[in-house]
Chains A and B, each alone.
Chain A
Amino acid sequence: MCDQSVFEIFHSELVNYVIQNNETQLKNTSKTHGEDLSNLEYIGFSTGFRIIERLTRELPRFRDELDTMKFICTDFWSAIYMKQIDNLRTNHQGIYVLQDNCFRYLSKLSNTKQYLDLSPRYVTFTCGLLRGSLANLGIRSIVTAEVQTMPSCKFHIQVQRN
């Protein structure tokens, strides 16, 4: 149990670090626009790109894209978030929606709307993680997240075919 909380604390410190870095940079350039989370997304990307080699080491080759997504929903998600994705939907044309009803990084925040506008900070890393893992498995994609009510989160994966 203890080792899991260490990982969560590390993640929230990572978020703080990126945001603080941005604030000092914004002061220097005196820009006044919203939060830039692309650094956090990139950290996620390279983490995903590297970790996927280890996670797929013992597995047989994936048959197709859907097979890969199923792996992401089950093995990948339980390796990182200790649970499986609750719902996977696809239009079979390259769009996948992964729904997690109790997302690990949001479950420790208030269930009300109090922190809803801060939720992008806590899902960006995971967007990058997904994008990086898929990239290394040979699927180029755009990943976005959507948080409507607090501990649940939807990840939209758009596969780039060309």
Chain B
Amino acid sequence: MAVCVAIIGKDNSPKFLSSLNPDEELCFQYKILSSLDIVEEKIHGVNRATDNRELFLGLLYALETHKIYGYVTNTKMKFIIVVDSSNIALRDNEIRSMFRKIHSEYADIICNPFYIPGEPITFKSFANNIKNIMTGTV
């Protein structure tokens, strides 16, 4: 179960953010935006250990309270998931499948004619679906 999900655009501008506890949202925004440098390093970095071409980037960094995971699509949209550090039951594979679900939600929303690509996502149904993915109810 994740505590926060964010979608960041090609130009590193925030498109969507959803967190379980709205009071912590500002703190999450800070953590997510500061993790973007690591995302950049992982996809463009010169000393990439292996030629990893998977969309899922794995653990970006771990803080005392939270762990932050990243995923970048072929179109350079960035998805970030923040997980509570105390939650050790959550494995990489579960995070990966969570990302895939978010990606397919995003593919649906971008095919929605009412959504203009590049704008922040404000659809209620999308927010609900992401909440469900976060809490693991789908």
Contacts and interface: CB of A to CB of B under 8 A. Distances in A.
Nearest to B74: A56
B107 interface: yes
Interface string A47-70: 001111110110111110000000
B74 A54 contact: no
B59 interface: no
Contact of A52 (B10, B72, B75, B106): B75
A42 B117 CA distance: 14
B75 A136 contact: yes
A60 B55 contact: yes
Given A50-B111, A53-B106, A57-B107, A138 B55 contact: no
Interface of B is mostly: loop
**B interface, how many residues as a size bin?**
10 to 19
B73 interface: yes
Nearest to A63: B53
A139 B43 CA distance: 16
B122 to A, nearest CB: 17
Contacts of B111: 50-51, 53-54
Interface of B: 10, 43, 53-55, 72-77, 103-104, 106-107, 110-111, 117
Interface residues of A, number: 17
A57 to B, nearest CB: 6
Contacts of A54: 107, 110-111
7 contacts: A53-B75, A53-B107, A60-B54, A60-B55, A61-B55, A61-B74, A138-B10
A46 B116 CA distance: 9
Nearest to B108: A54
Contacts of B110: 50, 53-54
Contacts of A51: 111
A114 B73 CA distance: 45
A138 B117 contact: no
Nearest to A133: B75
Contacts of B54: 60-61
Interface in A32-52: 46, 49-52
Interface in A93-144: 136-138
A61 B53 contact: yes
Contacts of A138: 10, 75-76
A128 B110 CA distance: 17
B15 to A, nearest CB: 13
A61 B51 CA distance: 10
Nearest to A62: B74
A10 to B, nearest CB: 15
A87 to B, nearest CB: 25
Contact of B74 (A46, A49, A50, A137): A137
